[in-house]
Amino acid sequence: MTAPLLEVRNLDVSVRDKKGREFKIVDNISFDVQPGEVIALIGESGSGKTTISLACMGYTRPGCHIIGGTVQLGGTSVLDLDLPALQDLRGKDITYVAQSAAASFNGAMTIDAQVTEIPVITGTMTRDQALAKAARLYRDLELPEPESIGKRYPHQVSGGQLQRLMAAMAMISDPRLLILDEPTTALDVTTQIEVLYSFKKLIADNETAAIYVTHDLSLVAQVADHILVLKDGKMVEYGPTEQIIRNPQHDYTKALMAAAHLMPEEIHAPPALGAKEPPLLEVRNVTAGYGPAQDIIALRDINLTISAGETVGVIGESGSGKTTLGRLISGLMGAKQGGVYLDGKQLAPSVSQRSREELRQIQFAFQMADVALNPRQRLNKILGRPMMFYRGLSQSEATREVARLLERVDLPTNFAWRFPPELSGGQRQRVNLARALAAEPRLIICDEITSALDTIVAQQILDLLEDLQEELGVSYMFITHDIATVSKISERIAVMRHGRIVAQGPVNEVLTPPCHEYTQVLLNSVPEMRTDWLDEAVAERRRLVAALD
Amino acid sequence: MTDRARTWRGELREAVGDLTPGVALCLLFLIAVILVGAFAPWISPYDEAEILTNESFSSPNAEMWLGSDYLGRDVLSRLIYGVRITLFLALIITFLSFFAGVGLGFLAAAFGGRVDDWMSRLNDAMLSFPALMLALIVINSLGSSFVVLVFTIAFIDMTRVYRVARALAVNIMVMDYVEAAIVRGEGKGWIVWHEVLPNALTPLAAEFGIRFTYAILFISALSFLGLGVQPPQSDLGVMVKENMQAILYGEYTTLYPAFGIALIAISMNVLVDWLLQRSSAKLPDEI
């Protein structure tokens, strides 16, 4: 056995709070990376996975300190290097691919200029050599028009392409170690597998060692040789990929497995609803768009009904118009043609023209709870306001109601006096839901409410949704890009693409073959928990996409 | 309700704990200056207008701690009254400019579209006038009085505050929590007051400090040019002008008010910097 390329031993990182107390966020972590091997760091947000990967470059975020342990890269002790030596190391021997490529590229420079920047300014390659190398990498990453794509600016390529270009930037100086920090999390499911596939190929072709940071166990099974499971900065489980996914030892790993974005074994057939009952909400022949005359069409001929007490899933990639549909129903934008009907009565297109009673019945839950809750309002006000606004409760009645509501979403009642930033991501999402519930609505439009959450927390939110539906009989319109999630909780689903509903019906009918080609593309993108899935899925996806266009 | 009181008091205690020695010094100085201004009649040893000696620009002595000015009045007493007037005017001006500027800025952001365009372009036109020139023209044509002075400077300052307030509010208006309030059916007033204002308070407080400093400098500059506060009353700017001759006799008389202006401005700036830094780079309270 050769000496490992990277050897991390007993790494401790701590952060200091205002009162000067030290708190360990990474506790006694040890692992090896062999040359040409990929190790995955997996855990929820706050588990210290990014902190560890940054520490491997000798870097800590402001406020953090490495207080113990060693990091050896090919015999050099990274943590003992001074800043100039570290600068020499970073970008050349160790490179980093960040989660959001869109935020990491400079919009005012061409892609080529940014990809070739490091080798050119450090003098390891001439500009022409670097450009030639870049073009070769573009081809390896299967980017379209590899000869000319580098002359474009970042906004002229798609998100998935940008993420791959960032990998090209990282690979151009032939690093010994590549760190990938959630490189596909910000991408659409169907794009994700293509990007993952090109990363895998690139790593294998160049025999680079890599650290892959993610929260998604099913994805990591496709690329990693070893998996290190983290929880609260501690090592939970560490072993070869096959062993971890076949035979997880620790309860936490098992929980991660259970919450992974997998298709359920069996799609439950929805209960037959009484056909004579009129639907709660109806969207009839709606066409809508953006721009002064709504001429940039975002929705075309949409027909959708939602009955009382049912969950309708709306799935599609970003840009498919699913969020626009939600905004249209809630009155944030008007339709060009067609209309929205509540109990058979047409709703006014805009919020300001609807009555308070109409507004109360349809509530909207936003995707990002951290920006959807005013950071300067206590929960008592955030939750109490809809009660006072719609139901005419007094302040003291609302305060009592808020306590009951908090209990209902499984939060402690003394949270009423807290501000949103004092809550965790999952707790905030519960508050976000509770605010919608505070109006006692009949329909809640849930816009990607689980996609920003860790898998385990997302599962808890889904469970809560189901409990609430059973108790209160509320309907959900569940907007998401995640077909696995939607198939677990919906009775009926609608698949959207380019502003149209391409398939719609009871969940088992829509998702069981033979189904629409696009539905198949989506289904095919749901990872399966086996190591050979990716290659098959990519081949299948390319065949399907070719048939679709 | 005890919960609420505790956090309020806790926040204050925390803020005091964050003070660095330099910031604490500036804060103490400002508090002292404000107290001196507020209690000027009780603190000053003599009346500001009383001529005590025939000697112009006498050196500091036991009766007059900072000597006498060009008319033989007590410099210390005049300094104390000058601070009072300068601070008083600056405070009124800043409050007025904030009331109007923040109100209009938020209004423009809340309505957006045409309303915003018109208001903002009009404001840009106002901004393009050099501030001192505009003030000179207005005051020259209307004659100098406290009222004219206050409203002119407040108006000029308002255009600056408007820009900051509008920019802040525009960024807040696109947040999801504002959209949530819009979907709920809230009116513009409620949204501005309950959703936008609390989130703009810290940067606005910092802006208030900066504007307050500028107001002091502006009044002093006008007074120095003879268009600000009129004799027999005096502010710090007037005092600098009156006593410029003292330099020729080797006395520091004119430098005391000048240093006063400088120290107040610097202290305020240090305090504002600290406030902004604290709000932007907040360490976790507890982990």
> Dihedral angle at the C-alpha atoms of B198, B202, B205, B207, nearest 10 degrees?
-120
Chain A interface includes B250 (CB < 8 A): no
Residue A21: exposure state from Cβ atoms within 10 A (0-12, 13-18, ≥19): exposed
Put simply, the answer to whether A386 touches B184 (Cβ < 8 Å) is: yes
A376 interaction partners in chain B (CB closer than 8 Å): 198-199, 201
pTM of the predicted protein model: 0.79
Question: So what's the pLDDT on residue B284?
Answer: 41
Nearest CA among B78, B65, B69, B72 for reference residue B51: B72
Q: Please provide the size of chain B in residues.
A: 287
Backbone angles phi, psi at B27, to 5 degrees: -65, -45
**Where does A232-295 have alpha helices with state H?**
241-246, 251-259
Range B267-271 contact pairs with CB under 8 angstroms and sequence separation of 24 or more: B267/B26, B267/B27, B267/B29, B267/B30, B268/B26, B268/B30, B268/B209, B268/B210, B268/B212, B268/B213, B269/B209, B269/B210, B269/B213, B270/B22, B270/B23, B270/B26, B271/B23, B271/B26, B271/B27, B271/B30, B271/B209
Radius of gyration of chain B (CA): 23
Taking the C-alpha atoms of B35, B36, B38 and B40 in order, what is their torsion angle to the nearest 10 degrees?
A: 160
Nearest Cα neighbor of A320 from A449, A426, A190, A193 is A190
* Inter-chain CB proximity A359 and B185 less than 8 Å: yes
DSSP A55-109: HTTT---TTEEEEEEEEEETTEEGGG--HHHHHHHBTTTEEEE-S-HHHHS-TTS
Collect all residues of chain A within an 8 Å Cβ-Cβ radius of residue B1: none
What is the number of alpha carbons within 13 Å of residue A91 lying toward its C-beta? 16
Q: Calculate helix-pair angle for A251-259, A455-472, nearest 10 degrees.
A: 60
Listed in order, strand segments (DSSP E) in chain B are: none
CA angle (A390, A393, A399) in 5-degree steps: 115
Residue A475 bridge partners (DSSP): A443
The Cα A463–Cα A20 span in angstroms is 39
SS (H, E, C) B215-279: HHHHHHHHHHCCCCCCCCCCCHHHHHHHCHHHHHHCCCCCHHHHHHHHHHHHHHHHHHHHHHHHH
Contact check, Cβ <8 Å, B177/A351: no
Neighbours of A463 (CB within 10 A): 12
SS3 at position A519: helix
DSSP state of A515: -
Q: Show pLDDT as tens, one digit a residue, over chain B (287 residues).
A: 334 444 667 777 877 877 888 999 999 999 999 999 889 888 888 888 788 888 878 888 878 788 888 788 888 888 899 898 888 999 999 999 999 999 999 999 999 889 999 999 999 999 998 988 999 999 989 988 889 999 999 999 999 999 999 999 999 998 889 999 999 999 899 999 999 999 998 889 889 988 999 999 999 899 888 888 887 788 888 888 888 888 888 888 888 889 998 999 899 989 888 887 876 654 444 33
**Between β-strands A492-497 and A76-77, what pairing exists: parallel, antiparallel or unpaired?**
unpaired
Contacts with A354 from chain B: Cβ below 8 Å:
185
Chain B nearest-CA distance from A540, in A, is 38
List of chain A residues whose C-beta atoms are within 8 Å of the C-beta of residue B176: 366-368, 371-372
Element (H, E) at A209: strand A209-214
Tell me the residues of A at the B interface, defined by beta carbons under 8 Å apart. Answer: 15-19, 21, 23, 25, 62-63, 330-332, 351-352, 354, 356, 359, 363-364, 366-368, 371-377, 381, 385-386, 389-390, 414, 417, 435, 439
* Residue A483 DSSP code: H
Tell which residue, A219, A158, A206, has the closest CA to residue A178: A206
Cβ pair B176:A371 closer than 8 A: yes
CB contact burial A93-104 (16+ within 10 A = b; e otherwise)? bbbbbbbbbeeb
Distance (Å, whole) CA A26 – CA A66: 9
- Write the CA distances from B257 to A539, B63, B212, B248, B263, integer angstroms: 81, 19, 17, 17, 10
**Of the partner residues A18, A359, A381, the one whose CB lies closest to the CB of residue B285:** A18
- Nearest by CB: B177 against A16, A62, A372: A372
Q: Quote the CA–CA distance of A336 and A334 in Å, as a whole number.
A: 7
Q: How far is A147 from A168, CA to CA, in rounded Å? A: 14
- B4 part of contact set with chain A, CB < 8 Å: yes
Low-confidence ranges of chain A (pLDDT < 50): none
Measured between CB atoms, which of A18, A19, A332 is closest to B183? Answer: A332
For chain B, how far is it from start to end, CA to CA, in angstroms? 25
CB-closest option in B177, B185, B283 to A374: B177
**B14 reaches A (C-beta below 8 A):** yes
ipTM of the complex: 0.77
DSSP code of B212? Answer: H
Task: Output phi, psi for A15, to 5 deg.
Answer: -125, 150
Using DSSP, state whether A339 is helix, strand or coil: strand
pLDDT at A267: 67
The gap from C-alpha A212 to its chain's centroid, in whole angstroms, comes to: 16
Contact with chain A for residue B1, Cβ under 8 A: no
